[in-house]
Chains A and B, each alone.
Chain A
Amino acid sequence: MDFSVETRAFRAGDERWLRAALERACRSAGGGPARDERELAWRYGAAPHGAVLAVARDTAGVELAGLVATRRRVRFEGQELFWLELGDLWNDFARGSGLARARPLLAAGAAFAEAFCGFAPEKHPVVYGLPNRRAHRLGLARLEWEVLRSENELVLDLAQAPSEGEPTLELEPVARFPAEVEAAYLRHAEGRPATLWKDAAALNGRHVEAPGVPAELVLARRAGEPVGFAVHRRGALLELATAAADGDTRRALVAWAAARARAAGATRLATVVPDTAPEFLALQALGFRVGPTREFLCFRSFQRPAIMSWLFKHWSYSRADTLR
């Protein structure tokens, strides 16, 4: 099977062929969720810092395999750089036979790594994502991915939700996060060597402009100063950001999210934080229980110190940092 590989930035309109290619690949793999052009256009085309892709096409120009990733701004040991969140990886296994069927994907994967991955600031030192089972197998065996964590979920039974927090804390529901939300993010980021950078553009891009059920946003202030924020959607606590030691704000934001989840008809509030983050124990103290997921957070690193043990200990992330 002859094919060629193209690497470039994602462009408006790419969502059309991408949806068709993903659906072909899905059918060849025995099925999967349908994809939506609007969702793809938002995920990649509207990403605040853009998206990149590698695609393998046959001689007739039909897309056989590829990878698409969103550029994510990262605060890494106080410095600004960019990682890639791999959102889609596909291969049309109906084309070709035997081991040769994966050749387009392997070529696209190699070209993707060559074009976009490497030392900052020119390239992206970390690529990460939550692959499905097939992509997991291929990625680990053939694309040099590693597992960072078998992901846990923290779940709060809403009947056990904590009461509202301290009266000096003001919780301000907002339609969009204002620019000053970044001050709350920087409090959260203090003492955490690696976090995705959460300014208003990143948060609004991910949560306000997303198609589908709208998210609910809240900004916490103390004496007028932003000290935390949270995002809730349909029983999922997508963001929860406070300073590590600010248990009062954390409790208030959890109480707010629990109330919003209850109002949305949910019976539980679920979130994801790394088991090495201070929130992992703090949320258990608020009544969350640790349960299983079917997710393996995977990554590939191209620059020290971001190897597995370092990222495992030092990367603090939220549920929304990886789209499901």
Chain B
Amino acid sequence: MAAPKYTIREFRPGDEEAILATFNAVFAENNPSFQARTRREWDWAFAHNPAGRRIWVAESEGVIAAQCAALPYRVWIDGRESSFTQGVDSMVHPDHRKGLRRPGLYVETAYPFFERFGGYGNDILHYGWPVEPAWRIGRTFLGYEIVRTQTLHFFEPGPAPRAFPREVERLARFGPEVERLYLRCRANFGASVIRDARYMNWRFADHPRFRYELLAVRRGGELAGLAIYRRADWPVPGTALVMDWLVPDDEPGAGALLRDALLARAVEDGAHVVLAVFPDWSPWNARFQDWGFRVHSSDYLLIGIIQDPRYDTWWLRENWWYQLAELDVV
């Protein structure tokens, strides 16, 4: 049989269904609990992302044989706007895994992706949270570097009911005030995803699969703090995730109310643990520990391909504010 021929190219309209078909074939492998991705979900991630789209594919006779893709995010870094991307949905169709010799079809698809979107003046950082085997391929062929071996904050809330603070309100959607809150927080961030209403509504309110609770505290009518909650079975069954934490460092009172609200919701949902992620330089890293959270090891590596020589992993480790919100799978 003749070896398949591949066209490696940027995404073009009309590829959507073929990409979905390959995605659902690849990620269903060895995963009995896999739920097929829908077109609505794909559109949310790639067509409606307010920061745009980053997709490169290898196509063979109408089949998407491999994909290198990322979700872009608008970021504020060092006093100016730029972009980071999160690598997602890396895949090679099962029928095409022997399609090209080393380095393989995925890496051959990734090279032009990074030529197109990387380099000075383009996306500053391409990041991901791979486990070790995927990290090894990326390090060998694509220049992945470890920004941080990720630790996680865990808290076991116990079964006893906890009062949901009356000062905490549930938002249906975000308005322009969320950006004002973000701007207060940003004063202490070297780099961060721009949390304006458009991004926040896309990421949380409009998510086609997951239901998030948007918890807020106000002072004088303005948002003084915000936490996003979701009950999930990741990384362990019965986990209450603190998806996003947007509380100015000088609002410990708002932080404490939001903590109480998160714990109350976790107990109500029957969650065994509450999980949060903080950059270790943030004051919230220490405050959550003071509140009884314990820091645990994880298998996740926060990795990056840094595409601007002004930055390195040391800088990112000490300056980048990120949350679980920046991880697409939750």
Binding site for B on A (CB under 8 A): 133, 136-137, 140, 146-150, 152, 274-276, 280-281, 284-285, 289-292, 294, 296, 308-309, 312
Task: Name the residue on B nearest A312 (C-beta).
Answer: B149
Task: List 7 other contacts, CB 8 Å, given A148-B149, A280-B295, A309-B132.
Answer: A133-B312, A147-B149, A149-B149, A294-B314, A294-B318, A296-B314, A308-B135
In the docked arrangement, what's the CA distance between A136 and B312, Å? 10
In the docked arrangement, what's the CA distance between A290 and B286, Å? 7
- Chain B residues with CB under 8 Å of A147's CB are 145-146, 149, 313
Binding site for A on B (CB under 8 A): 132, 135-136, 139, 145-149, 151, 280-281, 285-286, 289-290, 294-297, 299, 312-314, 317-318
Partner pick for B280 among A140, A146, A292, CB 8 A cutoff: A292
- Chain B residues with CB under 8 Å of A146's CB are 139, 146
In the docked arrangement, what's the CA distance between A136 and B147, Å? 12
In the docked arrangement, what's the CA distance between A146 and B149, Å? 12
Q: Is the CB of B295 within 8 A of A290?
A: yes
Task: Name the residue on A nearest B281 (C-beta).
Answer: A292
Partner pick for A284 among B132, B136, B146, B289, CB 8 A cutoff: B289
In the docked arrangement, what's the CA distance between A147 and B317, Å? 13
Q: Is the CB of A152 within 8 A of B286?
A: no
- Chain B residues with CB under 8 Å of A280's CB are 295-297
- Chain B residues with CB under 8 Å of A292's CB are 280-281, 285, 317-318
Q: Is the CB of A290 within 8 A of B281?
A: no
In the docked arrangement, what's the CA distance between A308 and B63, Å? 36
Partner pick for A152 among B147, B280, B290, CB 8 A cutoff: B280
Partner pick for A150 among B147, B294, B312, CB 8 A cutoff: B147
Q: Is the CB of B295 within 8 A of A150?
A: no
In the docked arrangement, what's the CA distance between A61 and B153, Å? 54
Q: Is the CB of B296 within 8 A of A275?
A: yes
Q: Is the CB of A290 within 8 A of B132?
A: no
- Chain B residues with CB under 8 Å of A140's CB are 145
Q: Is the CB of B151 within 8 A of A137?
A: no
Q: List 19 A-B contacts (CB under 8 A).
A: A136-B314, A140-B145, A146-B139, A148-B149, A150-B149, A150-B317, A152-B151, A275-B296, A275-B297, A280-B295, A280-B297, A281-B294, A281-B296, A284-B289, A289-B286, A290-B151, A290-B289, A291-B280, A294-B318
Q: Is the CB of B312 within 8 A of A137?
A: yes
8 tightest Cβ-Cβ pairs between the two chains A and B: A292-B280, A275-B297, A147-B146, A290-B295, A309-B132, A150-B148, A149-B149, A276-B297
In the docked arrangement, what's the CA distance between A7 and B313, Å? 32
In the docked arrangement, what's the CA distance between A133 and B132, Å? 24
In the docked arrangement, what's the CA distance between A294 and B312, Å? 13
Q: How far is the CB of B325 from chain A (nearest CB, A)?
A: 21
- Chain B residues with CB under 8 Å of A308's CB are 132, 135-136
In the docked arrangement, what's the CA distance between A185 and B147, Å? 33
Q: Is the CB of B295 within 8 A of A275?
A: yes
In the docked arrangement, what's the CA distance between A275 and B135, Å? 19
Q: Is the CB of A284 within 8 A of B295?
A: yes
Q: How far is the CB of B54 from chain A (nearest CB, A)?
A: 25
Q: How far is the CB of A300 from chain B (nearest CB, A)?
A: 13
Task: Name the residue on A nearest B295 (C-beta).
Answer: A290
- Chain B residues with CB under 8 Å of A294's CB are 314, 318
A146-B139, A150-B317 known; A289 and B289 CB under 8 Å? yes
In the docked arrangement, what's the CA distance between A140 and B136, Å? 13
Task: Name the residue on B nearest A309 (C-beta).
Answer: B132
In the docked arrangement, what's the CA distance between A146 and B301, Å? 12
In the docked arrangement, what's the CA distance between A309 and B298, Å? 11
- Chain A residues with CB under 8 Å of B297's CB are 274-276, 280
Q: How far is the CB of B120 from chain A (nearest CB, A)?
A: 17
Q: How far is the CB of B213 from chain A (nearest CB, A)?
A: 28
- Chain A residues with CB under 8 Å of B299's CB are 309
Task: Name the residue on A nearest B302 (C-beta).
Answer: A150
- Chain A residues with CB under 8 Å of B314's CB are 133, 136, 294, 296
In the docked arrangement, what's the CA distance between A290 and B135, Å? 25
- Chain B residues with CB under 8 Å of A133's CB are 312, 314
- Chain B residues with CB under 8 Å of A290's CB are 151, 280, 285, 289, 295
A136-B314, A280-B297, A281-B294 known; A291 and B145 CB under 8 Å? no
